[in-house]
Structure 1
Amino acid sequence: MSSLRLRLYLLLLFPIAISLGEASVSSSVTVTDLPAFREAPAFRNGIECSKTVWSPADRTHNPSIIHISMTLDAIYLRGSVAGVFSVLQHASCPENVVFHFIATHRHSADLRRIISSTFPYLTFQIYHFDPNLVRSKISLSIRRALDQPLNYARIYLADLLPIAVRRVIYFDSDLVVVDDVAKLWRIDLRRHVVGAPEYCHANFTNYFTSRFWSSQGYKSAFKGRKACYFNTGVMVIDLGRWREGRFTVKLETWMRIQKRHRIYELGSLPPFLLVFAGDVEPVEHRWNQHGLGGDNLEGLCRNLHPGPVSLLHWSGKGKPWLRLDSREPCPLDLLWAPYDLFRYTPLIADS
């Protein structure tokens, strides 16, 4: 087979390999498999912004700084980079945004290099998350991606981030922000530990097994609370109250119960519902237009929920970068595409 024909053959095969998505994810991702990205433009503060500098050695809380946490890994890196780019592009004070990335030790040096070269002006830290901390507590769910240890890192933010960081926004790696993130940052949590959009019309019973609902002891966890579903891919968290209330321990307790008695089917979400549902500070729905990735099995196209939009979230099986590469995007995937900094390498040279 000639070199040109081989390249054309690979070009035809590439979308097929991409469309396999999570089913073909291998744990043996190498450094050469990490994607390359174009350098993002520099985003500067407006004149109304107070100039401030953050250091991990700071011991006091600085209210002018917006702290955002996301995970970094080889599989979802393209989504994380798009998410960061979207935040900076729409922020009124982008230089006051600090990113706290959570990654496993594997590839951490390469991930740091990629973030530094893509966002040369970004203030960020990368924290090492030990998968062994949670691996024995994870039970199989309905989708492999939900069982990855890094998916549970949000439970440990209060332990991973510096003590002076008393509030953080947690973002999943499959979303883009299309509004000034300062508006989300400034919400009043009042006495609550977590703020997030709630969806009280959702059938809450579907998130737990019949074994859970048949046990008076288990379902009493919601006693005295009007429990509503909320998506943990967008949360504003009071880390000070989290630490004081030892909420990591409470979440781990439910994970251990799940290992023994199988009371739910969905990854890291149900423990959050068990601990926080009905005790969440409601946030406008515009801050999590979720479900754009379809359900957890087929990942079919979906439309936006009615109402204004500040954040688009491709929760579910379908991810916009995979569908775009497969040349079978959903209509809303085209709203994600402008934030994609992925650097395509042509398979056929121009000369």
Structure 2
Amino acid sequence: MLPFRLSVVVLFLLVSVLLPPFCLCIRSFRGDGLGLDGLSRFAEAPDYRNGKECPLMKNKESYVSSCDASFIHIAMTLDSEYLRGSMAAVHSVLRHASCPEHVFFHFVSAEFDPASPRVLTQLVRSTFPSLNFKVYIFREDTVINLISSSIRQALENPLNYARNYLGDILDSCVDRVIYLDSDVVVVDDIVKLWETNLTSTRVIGAPEYCHANFTKYFTDPFWSDPVLSRVFSTRNPCYFNTGVMVMDLVKWREGNYRKRIENWMEVQRQKRIYELGSLPPFLLVFAGHVEPIHHRWNQHGLGGDNVRGSCRSLHPGPVSLLHWSGKGKPWVRLDVKKPCEVDRLWEPYDLFIHGKDRQRLGFGSGSGSSTTTTLAGYSGYFL
């Protein structure tokens, strides 16, 4: 019989081989409190429930499977730096959804985040007790050697590239997903975005901005290279923001679009063809082949530019989703008492409890609490 420690190592290696290389996941457990102070930093959200017009839930009291065909699937990243934004985004979706119990969140968390995926999962469950969700652990070594330097260090975070791997990370039964950045709030019923019709040739849908100067997203060496620039010769490319996308994962997997994006990232490592982070490879693969969605679903740029983070106002027209893309984040500007006018639109969805408010409301340090978490899959925490 193998010694216990050696048995554990062998088990870990077997799981690493059998599971996809892009993520590990952890099974449901009942925790006795992980001692993270962040567990008491967020107020519990209201318990949003379905109205009478919503379909009946299947197996409501038992284990909820992500394979339920009635679910609206939303994928987001989950990390300690943008956690406050993620919580506000989830809250906004539930608050405006006509059938909130039919929304299923897929959170992708970094393997080496300062707050472990277990802790982040427990925090989500304590803030949204009735939320349908699953946490996936993104193995950063999947992409770390493909990332090149960007104009802003935050854009080099490996987790920014997790959207490239959703087709591999999420359960194979999930054939469509809405991807949302962590710095958004939804102010409309998410089912309207979910029902976007992707035509037969379209893999993703997103608001397009064809008036933008498309050439600025790539360097002069790219445009002067007759072979590389020819990629756009047969299409009419328009800029689109990857922070809000409807994705057909069946077509994504069949077309191996993950590899197509990686190929361009490898070109970037050899010959610098763009300055931004994870956006340009998406443009190279999809620009000109995107299902256009109404601009109301991505009022982006509210964080200002990528250097100064200056204030910006809303674009004219109706709004269904607000997006603080750019350097400035609303929670940071609100905390330093220098908010932009649009940051007040984010504030009602913020569940963060500041120090004085925590004492007034009777919140402790977060240790000793007992919470049931809903994690699915297999544990990466063997050693």
TM-score bin (small chain): 0.7 to 0.9
| Matching residue of 2:46 | 41
Cα distance change of structure 1 residues 143 and 53 upon mapping to structure 2, 3 Å threshold: farther
Cα distance change of structure 1 residues 344 and 190 upon mapping to structure 2, 3 Å threshold: same
Cα distance change of structure 1 residues 44 and 73 upon mapping to structure 2, 3 Å threshold: same
Q: d(CA) in 2 for partners of 1:347 and 1:166?
A: 43
Deviation per residue, 1:75-99 (Å, 9 max, x gap) = 0000000000000000000000000
User: In 2, are the aligned partners of 1:91 and 1:179 still within 8 Å (CA)?
Assistant: yes
State the secondary structure of the residue aligned to 1:213. helix
- What's the CA shift for 1:226? 0.5
Equivalence map 1:33-182=2 (5 Å): 36-53=41-58, 62=69, 64-106=70-112, 107-182=116-191
Deviation per residue, 1:49-70 (Å, 9 max, x gap) = 10234867566x61x2100000
Runs of 5+ unmatched residues, structure 1: 1-29
| Matching residue of 2:225 | 215
- What's the CA shift for 1:143? 0.5
Question: Normalization by structure 2: what TM-score?
Answer: 0.81
Runs of 5+ unmatched residues, structure 2: 1-34, 361-383
- What's the CA shift for 1:104? 1.5
Cα distance change of structure 1 residues 56 and 244 upon mapping to structure 2, 3 Å threshold: farther
| 1:256 has 2:266 as partner | yes
Q: d(CA) in 1 for partners of 2:87 and 2:107?
A: 11
User: In 2, are the aligned partners of 1:35 and 1:342 still within 8 Å (CA)?
Assistant: no
User: In 1, are the aligned partners of 2:64 and 2:132 still within 8 Å (CA)?
Assistant: no
Cα distance change of structure 1 residues 114 and 202 upon mapping to structure 2, 3 Å threshold: same
- What's the CA shift for 1:37? 0.4
Q: d(CA) in 2 for partners of 1:348 and 1:242?
A: 45
Question: Normalization by structure 1: what TM-score?
Answer: 0.88
Q: d(CA) in 1 for partners of 2:321 and 2:300?
A: 8
| Matching residue of 1:184 | 193
State the secondary structure of the residue aligned to 1:255. helix
- What's the CA shift for 1:345? 1.3
Q: d(CA) in 2 for partners of 1:258 and 1:204?
A: 18
Moved over 4 A (4+): 30-35, 53-59, 347-350
Q: d(CA) in 1 for partners of 2:57 and 2:211?
A: 42
| Matching residue of 1:26 | none
Cα distance change of structure 1 residues 203 and 57 upon mapping to structure 2, 3 Å threshold: same
Q: d(CA) in 2 for partners of 1:67 and 1:347?
A: 34
| Matching residue of 1:5 | none
Cα distance change of structure 1 residues 49 and 33 upon mapping to structure 2, 3 Å threshold: closer
Deviation per residue, 1:291-318 (Å, 9 max, x gap) = 0000000000001111100000000000
- What's the CA shift for 1:34? 7.5
| Matching residue of 2:14 | none
| 1:300 has 2:274 as partner | no
Give me the identity figure in percent. Answer: 59
User: In 1, are the aligned partners of 2:43 and 2:352 still within 8 Å (CA)?
Assistant: yes
More deviation, 306-315/97-106: 97-106
| 1:337 has 2:358 as partner | no
- Provide the alpha-carbon RMSD of the alignment: 1.8
Q: d(CA) in 1 for partners of 2:280 and 2:358?
A: 47
Cα distance change of structure 1 residues 300 and 150 upon mapping to structure 2, 3 Å threshold: same
Q: d(CA) in 1 for partners of 2:93 and 2:38?
A: 26
